[in-house]
Amino acid sequence: MTHIKAAVCREFGAPLRIETIQLAAPQMGEIEVTLKACAVCHSDISYASGAWGGTLPAVYGHEAAGHVTAVGDGVRGLVVGDPVVVTLIRACGTCPSCGGGNPVICESGETGNPLTTPDGAPIEQAMNTGGFAEKVVVDQSQVVKLPETMAMDAAALLACGVITGVGAVVNAAGLRPGQDVVVIGAGGVGLNAIQGARIAGARRIVAVDMSEEKLSIAREFGATDGVLATDDKPWRAAKKAMGRGADAVIVTVGAIPAYDAAVRYLANGGKVIMVGMPHSGDMSSYEPVMLAATGQGLVGSKMGDVVIARDIPWMVDLYQQGRLKLDELISGRWTLDQINEAIADTKTGSAKRNVIVFE
């Protein structure tokens, strides 16, 4: 057992507590990673608020990067010292979903739990990661090796927000050059969906958000047009900008009004890609006859439908070419002791991504 410092959630909605806890050594197929950075995602905040239930006490955090410091038996292709990005995507490699090329919805359900209190009581390793901590032990399937020269704070963003946004456009929507896209929500995931649409060759990329400031930032990441969600019937302004409806609408926020309005932006044959996650029990409604009559559809996308061993190296290369913005996504850098302040800042909606950095 290794003693590490971590931010522990002991009560939903309460501030996280910095505690010294125990981390088990890596077992078969697992690796230990000493973290250099872990970004704060809205999913961490939702879980810590109790929006989706879960087991307490827990350590959240799932957008992480660091260096391998120990390996278990059976690990191949990784050695101590390797820089890696750590994702929540744990894949068995043998179930129908993994075999079909969709490891983000692995059906095995197998999870480890290497965290305990000093007296041996279990602590939940939330989202298979527990990245708000100095070290993690994860399955080898969750990590991708990085170039030695890559900054860890930028690399951490590849673990969730970037792959989710870019992947929603490239993988889930299957966008072709010349098609039109609406991205609802210009936060961390939304900006990456905008980047994904630009990289995929979209003709028009319309950002929709509540804030003029965020629409301005969206243009810096590739949006051709911006529409305020507070406008009366904002889909009309979006369609005017495009000259038609959208081939894909990427909903990156967990707000029910955004989901209720999403289909109104579509062209015939277009589809809504459902990325943002509302609270459990929240409901949206649609008129099925309209979707059927126009050939439109609703598609859920988890983590951008990525295959991390394929997609993360591609995105790293785009970053190194200057074609994918990562550094520009970082709004602030905080220490682990400042995690509650980082979460509070993220809740304001003004931050793109706050990152916890470790010495």
User: Average pLDDT, whole number, for the chain?
Assistant: 96
CA atoms of 214 and 238, how far apart (whole Å): 16
> Which of the four pLDDT bands, split at 50, 70 and 90, describes residue 112?
confident
Per residue in 7-49, pLDDT (tens digit) is 999 999 999 999 999 999 999 999 999 999 999 999 999 999 9
> Which of the four pLDDT bands, split at 50, 70 and 90, describes residue 356?
very high
Arithmetic mean of pLDDT, 323-340: 97
Which pLDDT value is given to residue 351?
84
Please choose, from the candidates 6, 38, 26, the residue with its C-alpha nearest in 3D space to the C-alpha of residue 112: 26
Which pLDDT value is given to residue 109?
77
> Which of the four pLDDT bands, split at 50, 70 and 90, describes residue 309?
very high
Arithmetic mean of pLDDT, 90-109: 94
Backbone angles phi, psi at 132, to 5 degrees: -80, 60
Say whether 115 sits in a helix, a strand or coil: strand
> Which of the four pLDDT bands, split at 50, 70 and 90, describes residue 349?
confident
CA atoms of 29 and 254, how far apart (whole Å): 35
> Which of the four pLDDT bands, split at 50, 70 and 90, describes residue 182?
very high
Query: Could you tell me the residue ranges of all domains in the chain?
Result: 2-159+326-357, 165-302
Homologous superfamily in CATH for domain 2-159+326-357: Medium-chain alcohol dehydrogenases, catalytic domain (3.90.180.10)
pTM: 0.95
CATH topology of domain 165-302: Rossmann fold (3.40.50)
For residue 175, what are the contacts with CB-CB under 8 A and spacing of at least 6?
169, 181, 196, 197, 200, 201, 202, 247, 248
For residue 330, what are the contacts with CB-CB under 8 A and spacing of at least 6?
153, 154, 157, 352, 353, 354, 355
> Which of the four pLDDT bands, split at 50, 70 and 90, describes residue 330?
very high
**CA end-to-end span of the chain, whole Å?**
21
Which pLDDT value is given to residue 4?
98
Task: Report the greatest alpha carbon distance in the chain.
Answer: 64
Given a contact cutoff of 8 angstroms between Cβ atoms, the answer to whether 228 and 198 are in contact is no
Q: Report the chain's C-alpha Rg in angstroms.
A: 20
Which pLDDT value is given to residue 308?
97
CA atoms of 186 and 208, how far apart (whole Å): 7
Per the structure block, which two tokens stand in for 97?
A: 């979903």
Kindly list the distances between the CA atom of residue 55 and the CA atoms of 4, 22, 126, 127, in Å, as whole numbers in the listed order: 20, 18, 8, 11
CA atoms of 57 and 124, how far apart (whole Å): 6
